[in-house]
Amino acid sequence: MSTSPQSMLAEPFTLPCGVTLPNRIAKAALSEGLGDKRNAPSPRLRRLYERWSTSGAGLLVTGNVMVDYDAIGEPGNVVVTDDRDSTALSQWAAAATANGAHAWVQINHPGRQVPRTLNSRPVAPSAIGVDLPGGTFGTPRALEHDEIVDIIDRFAATAKTVTATGFTGVQIHAAHGYLISQFLSPLSNHRTDDWGGTPEKRRRFLLEVVRAVRTAIGADVPLGVKLNSADFQRGGMTEDESLHVVLALADEGIDLLEVSGGTYESAAMMGVSSEPVKESTRKREAYFLDYAERVRAATSLPLMLTGGFRTAEGMADALASGAVDVVGLGRPLALEPDLPARLLSGATAASDVQPRRIGIRVLDSAAELSWHTVQLWRMGDGKDPAPRRHPLRNLAQYFATTGVQSFRRPKRGFSG
């Protein structure tokens, strides 16, 4: 007897650390931009996660939480370096987990991907800037060895703080061109010391962060990593090199690997890239399923795949293939915050979310980003999403709120 898509999606999944996720649907990280003026969790952020706590997803992954007040990727990022905001963090965690979902904090450092208006001299593995027009990003300064060690310690401190305040796990963001991804990529890491020069040395920073975070949170707390399948740029990290990173992460004993891809310069995580989309990808929905199948052939490490899923059948097919253990939804939950529950009950078979672009290529990625981000802000204000709102209206609101310098580039947050 065949298994229905609903029953496959509803099946619990036990991670290597022993923690069981109640089902196979996860809310992938979406950049909320709802930290307050001190970069602490705001009541609007808690309200948004109260809404998502009833979504039906078994796992909620937060938008990136930065590990350094001097390294903020965009206005509204939450920053956690110590327990100064422990009350607000506890309230946020309680809101997210109120209905039985697990809630993991995605911890991150932007490296060179910092708008010039926030920091004109960011840090990076090497003094190589983001290759985008418009002067949005400043040229970074290459990190010294002691600074690299300090950032590793900051990841660990952030992980320890958020899990102590009620979040059930953490995800290290090693994708989308942020600092760890910069260390991994031969395009942005030209170092010749112990932190670069060979694939093994380029991945050292990620592995040291993983080890430090695991020590900080213990063996029983879930530890995930989000990793690019490839950078989708000529000369960047390839699928072959990424696969070696995956095998190293499996040896470290992480609990869940989320597969994604791309950078600000080539936003494959949003379905935008310089490379044509394969017909097999269109039919199977997920952007990176071919790569996930390569990973599964090499390791039994649990995999979460985000990017492109829209139907219960497509999600169930990915699970049934054995290549994927958890499916991630991003953009659909900005418009349909109860979509997982409806998929699990059989009340709906697919998401109605469609790309919201305006037909001007230079602005389409920004329009897509802003249209979904404003939906999160609406839910943070206690309102429903507004799917009929014109993208230009949301674009104007996003611009007015964040400023042009932080709004010129596609954002990794909407990788779903």
Residue 215: both structure tokens together: 């020590």
Does residue 380 lie in a domain region? no
Give the model's confidence band at 307: pLDDT under 50 very low, under 70 low, under 90 confident, else very high: confident
Instruction: Give the model's pLDDT for residue 3.
Output: 83
Answer whether residue 399 is part of any domain: no
pLDDT of amino acid 396? 73
Q: What is the pLDDT of residues 119-163, one digit of tens each?
A: 889 999 999 998 776 678 889 999 999 999 999 999 999 999 999
The answer to the question of residue 243 being in a domain is yes
pLDDT, one tens digit per residue, over 376-406 is 999 999 999 998 877 677 667 776 777 644 4
Characterize the bridge pairing of strands 13-14 and 20-21. antiparallel
Q: Is residue 128 part of a domain?
A: yes
Residue 372 included in any domain: no
Give residue for tokens 């052939």: 297
CATH assignment of the domain containing 179:
3.20.20.70
Q: What's residue 270's pLDDT?
A: 42
The SS3 call for residue 170 is strand
Look at residue 410 and tell me whether its pLDDT is greater than 60.
Answer: no
377 domain residue, yes or no? no
Predicted confidence (pLDDT) per residue in 172-223, tens digit? 999 989 999 999 999 999 999 999 999 999 999 999 999 999 999 999 999 9
Range list of β-strands (E), 254-357: 256-260, 303-306, 326-329
pLDDT at 361: 67
CA–CA gap between residue 86 and residue 152 (Å, rounded): 21
The model's confidence at residue 65, banded by pLDDT at 50, 70 and 90, is: very high
What's the token pair of residue 226?
């989000």
| Residue-averaged pLDDT of the chain | 87
- Tokens representing 285 are 């929905």
The whole-number average pLDDT for the span 219-244 is 82
Q: How many separate domains does the chain show?
A: 1
Per the structure, the complete domain to which residue 149 belongs is given by 5-356
- What is the average pLDDT across 220-229? 94
Q: Is residue 78 helix, strand or coil?
A: strand
Structural domain includes residue 349? yes
The tokens describing 202, both together, are 């380029």
| Any domain includes 21 | yes
Distance CA 136, CA 102 (A): 36
Intra-chain end-to-end CA distance of the chain, in Å: 32
Look-up of token digits 């492109």: 308
Q: So what's the pLDDT on residue 263?
A: 46
The more confidently predicted of residues 401 and 285 is: 401
pTM, rounded to two decimals: 0.90
State the CB neighbour count (10 A cutoff) for residue 39: 19
Amino acid residing at 109? H
